[in-house]
Amino acid sequence: MWTTWDARWRAPAGGAKSGGAVAVQAFDVARTHRLADLAGAEGVSLNSLLLATLGRASEPRLQGGRALWMVPVNMRGPVNLADETANQTSYLQIKTGADVTAQHIHEQVKGKLSRNEHWGGWLFVNVGRVVRYAGMKWLYRREIERTQGRPWVGAFSNLGSWENCGQWFVCPPVAKTCPLGVGVVICEGSLSLTIEAHPSITRDAAWTQALMDRWVAELGV
């Protein structure tokens, strides 16, 4: 649980407006290369390094216990849906903490992929075809009750490297049940980071900026 999490938060009448608790950070090509070299020296992916340092930066703002992140997995290729714009994403559940290193993150990701946990996630998010709306409603309520409304501390999404596209900042959507969205992308060799917080944990951009500053400090480049 985030220390600022408000269990009583409800969307206002007419629906919640997009929030303003957003922070961004861009690294130039040279700093991006230094980060990639740092990850390579540790024998891990840049993605694992980023998530491990984010976990350490987040830990002081969490009320102890597990810190479980939803990490999306692109299923395009193994899964071929007729509609290219349909949701073709599964996820892994990755644990972070003050003592969880980039190597630990890397081992978690590799191990979960080798055990096909992303296929388990894919089957779960598509089980509505079998159990229908009533079944999905029951499963969702059971999971929310089991986790006391907090299945994840947030979502961490890496869209990889892109060329000839300009500079972009990306972020997964946030919800009360997954209140922090963190997006990573490399455009033209330049890494960008984005953090957005759901209003159930803060409505203040200073909160996300402070978290971003801690994250960048943990990266140390």
- pLDDT tens for 112-136 read 999 999 999 988 888 888 899 999 8
Please state which of the ranges 5-19, 143-157, 171-185, 203-217 shows the lowest mean pLDDT.
5-19
The full set of domains in the chain, from first to last, is 22-73+88-219 (3.30.559.30)
What count of other Cβ atoms lies within 10 Å of the Cβ of residue 206? 10
Contact present, 194 and 171 (Cβ < 8 Å) = yes
Residue type present at position 120: G
Check residue 28 and give its pLDDT. Answer: 97
Check residue 16 and give its pLDDT. Answer: 67
Q: How much of the chain, in percent, has pLDDT values that exceed 90? A: 73
With 80 as the cut, is the pLDDT of residue 104 above it? yes
Check residue 66 and give its pLDDT. Answer: 67
Task: Name the more confident of 18 and 147.
Answer: 147
With 90 as the cut, is the pLDDT of residue 81 above it? no
- The helix (run of H) or strand (run of E) holding residue 114 is helix 102-114
CA atoms of 129 and 113, how far apart (whole Å): 24
- Note the pLDDT tens digit of each residue in 161-195: 999 999 999 999 999 999 999 999 999 999 999 99
Check residue 168 and give its pLDDT. Answer: 97
The band of 65, judged by pLDDT with boundaries at 50, 70 and 90, is: low
Tokens of 77: 């290729």
In this structure, what are the phi and psi dihedrals at residue 152, rounded to the nearest 5 degrees? Answer: -140, 155
The band of 147, judged by pLDDT with boundaries at 50, 70 and 90, is: confident
Nearby residues of 136 by Cβ (< 8 Å), 6 or more positions away: 127, 128
Angle CA 215–38–178, to nearest 5: 35
What count of other Cβ atoms lies within 10 Å of the Cβ of residue 132? 10
Tokens of 7: 């269990």
